[in-house]
Amino acid sequence: MEVKVMKNILGENDRIAAENRAMFQEKKVYVLNLMGSPGAGKTSVLEKTMEYLKDKVHMAVIEGDLFTSKDAERIEKHGVPVIQINTAGGCHLDAPMVQQTAKDLDLDGLDLLIVENVGNLVCPADFPIGADDSAVVLSITEGEDKPMKYPLIFKESSIVLLNKVDLVPYCNFSLANAEEDIDTLNPGVKIVEVSCTKNQGIEDWCGWLLQKVAEKKGAQA
């Protein structure tokens, strides 16, 4: 009985995620679902991304948090349209939330929409929102054992950002081991070593995003 109800809920989410995907396809907006633990550095990566991309593409951001609009305030300073979703305690964004929010954006004028999910390495991976791709940000301060302990989110992502690599000298973290584990879970997945404070890896990451946006624009609606 419980399983059936859960399946119904997930079925409903998947149905609306498919609607979202069709809507973004029609508008040729490339949508990225940005996930990671609390404090992995998702918003900092976004800030660097906006600095690099905002004059190259028309972008917007949806911010997901349980409470507060702290992240949206950080995004807004960069002059990029942003809408904050508060889940009021909910541990992930779902497809209906994104659908409702996307209606308030001018999709016709957009190339790129980044959805920063709630800080959580588990639940967001279970709820598709209708994005083209998922990305996971892992801070090296979280420890190199995390990919194997939280495999689903690494398996589902098309790109993995290993963030805060400037702190490697002060932490017990082997980039080689972590990257090997990630490649075992998701063979060939793109991995970028990033430091927002040192501006490292941003060009590589943003180049990947620009390529994805160009492919979407070029695709038949």
Site of interaction with a copy of itself (CB under 8 A): 2, 5, 9, 37-39, 65-68, 70, 89, 91, 118-123, 126, 139, 141-143, 145-146, 148-152, 164, 166-167, 170-171
Of 67 and 79, the one with the shorter C-beta distance to a copy of itself is 67
Of 23 and 175, the one with the shorter C-beta distance to a copy of itself is 175
Least distance from a copy of itself to the Cβ atom of residue 57, Å: 27
Of 169 and 218, the one with the shorter C-beta distance to a copy of itself is 169
Least distance from a copy of itself to the Cβ atom of residue 120, Å: 6
Least distance from a copy of itself to the Cβ atom of residue 133, Å: 21
SS (H, E, C) the chain: CHHHHHHHHHHHHHHHHHHHHHHHHHCCCEEEEEEECCCCCHHHHHHHHHHHHCCCCCEEEEEEECCCCHHHHHHHCCCCCEEEEECCCCCCCCHHHHHHHHCCCCHHHCCEEEEECCCECCHHHHCCCCCCEEEEEEEHHHCCCHHHHCHHHHHHCCEEEEECHHHHHHCCCCHHHHHHHHHHHCCCCEEEECECCCCECHHHHHHHHHHHHHHHHHCCC
Least distance from a copy of itself to the Cβ atom of residue 38, Å: 5
Of 56 and 70, the one with the shorter C-beta distance to a copy of itself is 70
